[in-house]
Structure 1
């Protein structure tokens, strides 16, 4: 195994699951590609985007110009703002029901489609199949979020083929933003290969079928990517706005909070309260599994991003990581009830996926963490701050805190 080396600027290492390299100065590829944001001519890049989307504009004005995937969190508001209010396109919004919905996420999604006056399609996969898939992926490779990632990345493509709307508009490319997998100037687009290798952890839907499992064809067919002939007949392509707009999630969310009514909520496991307010599990159990498998959690992603944008020093960021990364889970009981497992059984399954590079078990039932935040040789000491993020609401919004399986609207 190659030695674990840490970037001298951010907190990512050469063991990052997306792949990462360090240059002779000890700076990672993600930080180097981020530097492009301060030297590229973003006005010129916006004009390139305008030219790119122009051929897809409906001549009659009565058809959809593009497909835009959205949720009740993340960058959805800003993406729709750019597509509809700045580019003047008529998007069809699509969303995959992940079944881990918060009341705040349902509110944000309702406000999004109402405020921007857009049509929306919601995919609701049979909840029995979703539970079966979640049990299988949790046991096989330690992911309770595979079905969410699979659905969120394939339903827009399926809709593009079904409605014959070739252009899909995504936000930022994760591989570019985190590890510098590409340059902004490469203008990479969405591919089946990237979805499988990174979004789906290398497992296509058919890979989940096994003689030793309960999944059948009826459970997984809706997660299949359309075949090449179907894609080519429509000319489907998925572009990333982050190649043409200087992507800054904190600034973008705050703009949408001020102008379009986006609401946020605090999390115990990160200082960033803007991104994942639509889901109880992403910043909770899913985040815990990430820590088990990779030795770091989402707060490290947030801290590294804020270092790159110059809003946190390395020492301040490390203090935030140490404060948040092992915070107790807040919503695990909801998952137990939904999936039909008890706490001890779930913990046993999760423990099977602890990475021995970061976790040691000196005795049964006791684990010691040797994670990236404790190994970091470049960090100093500093008091943790709130990094300038602010919560405007709560995930439950006065409700009972259960998963909202499906919301048709919000009062």
Structure 2
């Protein structure tokens, strides 16, 4: 359960005058004398940096990892059936001319569209792929623990997606891992693009994993065992140094624009997109029933904002929508309830009432007020300042399959 002392509750939460992020952002965010946040200021670098120069820097960086005889892999690229995977592989294989080994972690919340996108990715780019399928009983055991203790249904997904590529790098002695954009740079300006931040164990633990490594989940008050968590362990420093493992972010060398990039992938490679109930972005995380649904609802309960705020703030920064339009969209989407939580309850063998009780334990008192006996009130209102709807420009090419009989695709068998 989230608990704050009185001083934390009384702190005035400030909002950026340009985007919609506040100073309570979990990644940490600061405002300057003009009231503009660090994320917006770092985003401004995208219009001032010479990206042709930075691309040449990337080419020089990866050249030292290219395998001369072409009989092995030059790098590892983590992928899913959604997000920026197509664009990352496009840059790595088509533009940099590298031979990547694709790796993906099976999150067990797969949509048919995600299975299709992942299979299509492998086929269109003609790449080898490794898929990690961890014992589903262990995944469920961990999910029960992290839901109860951290208010997260997604901890195993985040842990697996960030550790399996590193484990593979050590196992196959492929030192270079190429990721897409750095979340801390893109959202809150944690680093400058010129800092060329790389993937680290510390960032993964503090931000992706909410401060909990796999071994931290085991306690005398829980039923998790060594058999459940061992595959989520990050390789030790000696192993990483022996291979020389490093993870670089393409967003430091390429002007990152998810909307434009996805639209190029739709046209060039047939990436499929879908509407979501809780946001206007049709391109992000189409592979998962939970990410834009129950996971996003938990984010709203804990942090006072949801994925639509991320999307709206990003679109403000790229100049495609106004701040008033963004406020209206957030007001329209953020309070929409979950649509697929019944699938999660069925998968975890949990009833709706028990899930609701656990969710309420993770409501942040900075954002929520209890209205006895069972109701809650969100403390921060946003005006509907835009009349009517406008064309946000996102293309929907498909839809998530959600008939009565649908359940998670726990193991994707491929796509013709």
Q: TM-score, normalised by structure 2?
A: 0.96
What is the deviation of 1:397? Answer: 8.1
C-alpha contact 1:265 1:393 (8 A) present in aligned 2: yes
For 1:62, the equivalent position in structure 2 comes to 71
Secondary structure in structure 1 of the residue aligned to 2:24: coil
What is the deviation of 1:380? Answer: 4.6
> Pairwise mapping of residues 8-27 of structure 1 onto structure 2 (< 5 A)?
8-27=17-36
For 1:279, the equivalent position in structure 2 comes to 288
Secondary structure in structure 1 of the residue aligned to 2:398: coil
Secondary structure in structure 2 of the residue aligned to 1:169: strand
1:112-170 deviation per Cα after TM superposition (whole angstroms, max 9, x unaligned): 00100000000000000000000000000100000000000000000000000000000
C-alpha contact 1:190 1:238 (8 A) present in aligned 2: yes
For 2:44, the equivalent position in structure 1 comes to 35
What is the deviation of 1:384? Answer: 3.9
Q: Return the alpha-carbon distance in structure 2 between the equivalents of residues 73 and 328 of structure 1.
A: 23
| Structure 1: gaps spanning 5 or more residues | none
Secondary structure in structure 1 of the residue aligned to 2:64: helix
Q: Return the alpha-carbon distance in structure 2 between the equivalents of residues 272 and 375 of structure 1.
A: 20
Secondary structure in structure 1 of the residue aligned to 2:369: strand
Q: 1:179 aligns with which of 169, 188, 191?
A: 188
For 2:203, the equivalent position in structure 1 comes to 194
For 2:3, the equivalent position in structure 1 comes to none
Query: Is the aligned partner of 1:203 residue 2:208?
Result: no
Q: Return the alpha-carbon distance in structure 1 between the equivalents of residues 223 and 233 of structure 2.
A: 18
Query: Is the aligned partner of 1:237 residue 2:246?
Result: yes
For 2:232, the equivalent position in structure 1 comes to 223
C-alpha contact 1:20 1:30 (8 A) present in aligned 2: yes
What is the deviation of 1:266? Answer: 0.3
1:36-63 deviation per Cα after TM superposition (whole angstroms, max 9, x unaligned): 0001000000000000000100111110
For 1:396, the equivalent position in structure 2 comes to 401
C-alpha contact 1:315 1:382 (8 A) present in aligned 2: no
Report runs of 4+ in structure 1 exceeding 3 Å deviation.
379-384, 397-400
For 1:407, the equivalent position in structure 2 comes to 412
What is the deviation of 1:313? Answer: 0.2
Q: Return the alpha-carbon distance in structure 1 between the equivalents of residues 318 and 132 of structure 2.
A: 36
For 1:115, the equivalent position in structure 2 comes to 124
C-alpha contact 2:180 2:250 (8 A) present in aligned 1: yes
Query: Is the aligned partner of 1:138 residue 2:147?
Result: yes
For 2:138, the equivalent position in structure 1 comes to 129
What is the deviation of 1:328? Answer: 2.2
Secondary structure in structure 1 of the residue aligned to 2:104: strand
Q: Return the alpha-carbon distance in structure 2 between the equivalents of residues 409 and 392 of structure 1.
A: 20
> How many residues are treated as equivalent by the alignment?
407
For 1:254, the equivalent position in structure 2 comes to 263
C-alpha contact 1:104 1:397 (8 A) present in aligned 2: no
C-alpha contact 2:331 2:382 (8 A) present in aligned 1: no
Secondary structure in structure 2 of the residue aligned to 1:140: helix
Query: Is the aligned partner of 1:307 residue 2:316?
Result: yes
> Pairwise mapping of residues 283-362 of structure 1 onto structure 2 (< 5 A)?
283-362=292-371
Q: 2:80 aligns with which of 60, 71, 92?
A: 71
What is the deviation of 1:17? Answer: 0.1
Q: TM-score, normalised by structure 1?
A: 0.97
Secondary structure in structure 2 of the residue aligned to 1:56: coil
C-alpha contact 1:103 1:397 (8 A) present in aligned 2: no
C-alpha contact 1:317 1:384 (8 A) present in aligned 2: no
Q: Return the alpha-carbon distance in structure 2 between the equivalents of residues 153 and 74 of structure 1.
A: 15
What is the deviation of 1:401? Answer: 2.6
Q: Return the alpha-carbon distance in structure 2 between the equivalents of residues 405 and 139 of structure 1.
A: 23
Secondary structure in structure 2 of the residue aligned to 1:14: coil
